[in-house]
Amino acid sequence: MVRLPGRTGSRSAHRPHGRRLELASGPARRARGRVGHGHSGRDRPSSLRSALGGRSVAGQVFLLQVAIVVLLVAAAVVALVLQVRHDTDEEARNRSLAVAETFANAPGVREALAAPNPTAVLQPRAEAARKEAHVDFVVVMNTRGIRYTHPKPDRIGKQFVGTLQPALAGRTVVEQVDGTLGPLVQAVVPIRAPDGKVVGLVSAGITTRNVGGLADRQLPVVLGAAAVALALATAGTALVTRRLLRQTHGLGPREMTRMYEHHDAVLHSVREGVIIVGDDGRLLLANDEAQRLLGLPEDAERRPVLDLGLPPETAELLASGRIATDEVHLVGDRLLAINQRPTDMPGGPSGSVATLRDSTELRALSGRAEKARERLSLLYDAGVGVGTTLDVTRTAEELVQVAVPRFADFATVDLYDAVLAGEDPDPGAALRRTAFAGIREDTPLYPLGQEIRFIPSTPQALGLKSRRPVLEPRLDAAPGWQAQDAEHTERVLASGIHSLIAVPVRAGNLLLGLVSFWRSEKDEPFDSEELALAEELVARAAVSIDNARRYTREHGLAVTLQRSLLPRSLPEQNALDIAHRYLPAQAGVGGDWFDVLPLSGARVALVVGDVVGHGLHAAATMGRLRTAVSNFSALDLPPEELLGLLDELVGRIDQDETADSSGVPVTGATCLYAVYDPVSRRCAVARAGHPPPAVVGPDGEVTFPEVPAGPPLGLGGLPFETAELELAEGSRLVLYTDGLVMDRERNIDAGLAELRTALASAGESPEDTCRAALGVRPSRPVDDIAVLVARTRALGSGQVAEWDVPGEASAVGDVRAAVSRRLVEWGLEELTFTTELILSELVTNAIRYGGEPIRVRVLCDRCLICEVFDSSNTSPHLRYAATTDEGGRGLFLVAQLAERWGTRYTPTGKAIWAEQPLP
């Protein structure tokens, strides 16, 4: 309908006389305003940056000027540097030569060379001359090049570094060298006797860095001139650019053509009404959409807006020119949203422009869309906020917190007790109120923890029976609900609660409980759409509740299994004072374990291990490994050999699990095995991928001994190594799993540093040490934590008796006599006969079948321990001797008399031991 001036069309381009709103020149006027009016300050920097960027002629000239200035400055700097370097070398040569000749010809120098101590005479004079002449050194030397003077006295008497032959021949030498002071120039001048013979040499030198300084004075001048040239080039370019912007109004020919073409196309194709009104209240322009929305006549342009037949409020707004934002006006049967702004705000002609949008259908749809958006937002928040933990009660609490107050004023969750315990629910059992949330606390609804049984007529019972949600829009007209408890329901109605939705919590075929939504604040009752929303909300939460129930059951089984596999009590022994702690992870049951195993010879083995992962499989694997370690320890193997056997066992377990597709292989297991001997106070430690132990000395000093870190169990192919530690009596050995010192936010180095600090301030008892160690655990541990603290004891010399036995049969009697005397000293006369018999058999076997050296050791601990050592690796076996056999009954007698007996291999052979209980 509207055409721009100069274009063909049905509408005239004539405008009223006086001040007109020039549409065609509007963009050019705005560009002009950017240059000459209030917006020039904002737009000029961007235009200047565009010009200086090289996209205009002025910018290209500016870049050329910059290049010329940079080339000239670079040439000047290079020339200056070369000239200064040449002048520096010349000045250094001249100064060093002048100083050397002057000092060589100075009175008394030649005579000083002949003095008994030339250095005492020449050194002060040389240093004075050096400082006066501003050189780095003045050296006087004899004809062999031995220095008599030097700025550094430690160099006097040493050979001069430089060319001397020409100077010895009577000539002067000037050379450049790299000396101890850096690049320098030195001159060597001969000292002549009256007969012309060279009797000494003088050398003076100066480093090149101490000469010159001309460049430091001239270079700022050159750079300053360059800066001035660049500033002048920039100012000239800015002036030219500003002149061009003023002449073209910031627009090029192509931009102006494209602007006029787009102006007409956009104005008539946009689906929003646009009208322009002059300052005299006349309509200057209305696009096609404005003609349709307002129902304007064909001759509406140039007429007063008040005469166009529009509703009074709409016509008054358009004629007033006041600012309006999304004002809604009824025009005919349409609701129009009007936005209006004056046109002279950016410096344009006076008048106003208004845009019109038809919001009739939008207003109707917006209400429904907003309600749908709120419901989707509620379901989304429920999906994100419900089920964040695997706790049934917490999940129910999260559900009611999401529902109140966005969906209901009160919400309750009632679950079967079996669900709370992780079991399958019994539909005939009573419900227990598990969660409650409301807009206020003073409500007469059943409290938390109360056991509830709904009678068949209530909506809750109907929902549980049908497994479908039930809507009770008006509780005051629901006799079935009121029949539950007349007095209670009256209090509920009196509190303002008037509508109810009861939704059963279903997970597959299981019915877990019931969720009730109550309304009190809104007068409108719940409707069918809200019933569907409540069903969807509870269905999403039911999955999380069922997952929490299943986890509770599995976690309980795993905890029970794990507790049954861990040691319930520690064995009695006198070598170590033991304290221990085990903390399961919050995320589930893990595979950490520890153990204390008494060994022969009053020794004790300490074990700490960790199976990677959580759940029943990790707990079961832990039990298998703990049993294996207990069995392997009975073989009295060194720690590295025991870990090797355990590594093979884990490998076989992995092979068996891999062969069985239903099994899960051991993804990783670590172990630390330590054996402490209270007689020698030495502890043998080996570890397989486990954190190192900590040792707290009697003085409180904490160390982490260097124990070779073997690979985790199950990898195979690599041996394990044992470290021998000597522990003073009263030392505390701290063994732990990685859950104590590692988590997602802390690496093992930081954890060990915190553990060191905590142990250093711990009390001396193992219990105090355990508590201090647990102080560094993470606030929310994701892995199990096992801590084992052992304070060492030592068997005193009065509890140990040793004898070396010669390899002769007659030595057996001497051993029996010595042992008898020691048993009398210990007050164990009752054990004399059995002990003599045991040692007789063991020593006789060692003499007959073993090898020297043979040694007998008797220990008085919780029991009487007899040990016979020899160098043979052959272990005797218990057997029944035939009636015709002459021997073979010795070990049988030992086994009958001793409570326990066995063989232990040592680095030098073996030891056969037997234990007897103390009377």
Q: Which residue has the tokens 């929490």?
A: 548
> Which among 351, 332, 352, 353 has a CA at the least distance from the CA of 273?
353
Which residues are paired to 788 by β-bridges? 580, 735
Q: What is the dihedral of CA 384, 389, 395, 398, to 10 degrees?
A: -50
Minimum mean pLDDT range among 128-137, 405-414, 657-666: 657-666
Minimum mean pLDDT range among 38-42, 176-180, 527-531: 38-42
pLDDT band at 497 (very low <50, low <70, confident <90, very high): very high
- Conformation bin of residue 196: beta by default, left when phi > 0, alpha when psi is -120 to 50: left
Alpha helices in 566-605 (DSSP H): none
pLDDT score at 129: 87
Neighbours of 688 (CB within 10 A): 26
Contact 191, 104 (CB under 8 A): yes
pLDDT score at 431: 94
Tokens of 510: 């299981």
In this structure, the chain runs to a length of: 919
Distance CA 842, CA 858 (A): 13
**For residue 287, pLDDT beyond 70:** yes
Contact 830, 780 (CB under 8 A): no
Contact 257, 27 (CB under 8 A): no
**For residue 34, pLDDT beyond 80:** no
pLDDT score at 588: 60
pLDDT score at 800: 92
pLDDT score at 31: 44
Q: What per-residue string of b and e applies to 559-598 under the rule 16 or more CB within 10 Å gives b? A: eebbeebbbeebeebebbbbbbbbbbbeebbbbbbbbbbb
Q: Which helix (H) or strand (E) holds 580?
A: strand 576-583
pLDDT band at 881 (very low <50, low <70, confident <90, very high): low
Q: What is the mean pLDDT of the chain?
A: 83
pLDDT score at 768: 94
Distance CA 718, CA 543 (A): 48
Distance CA 186, CA 161 (A): 10
**pLDDT average, residue stretch 859-873:** 91
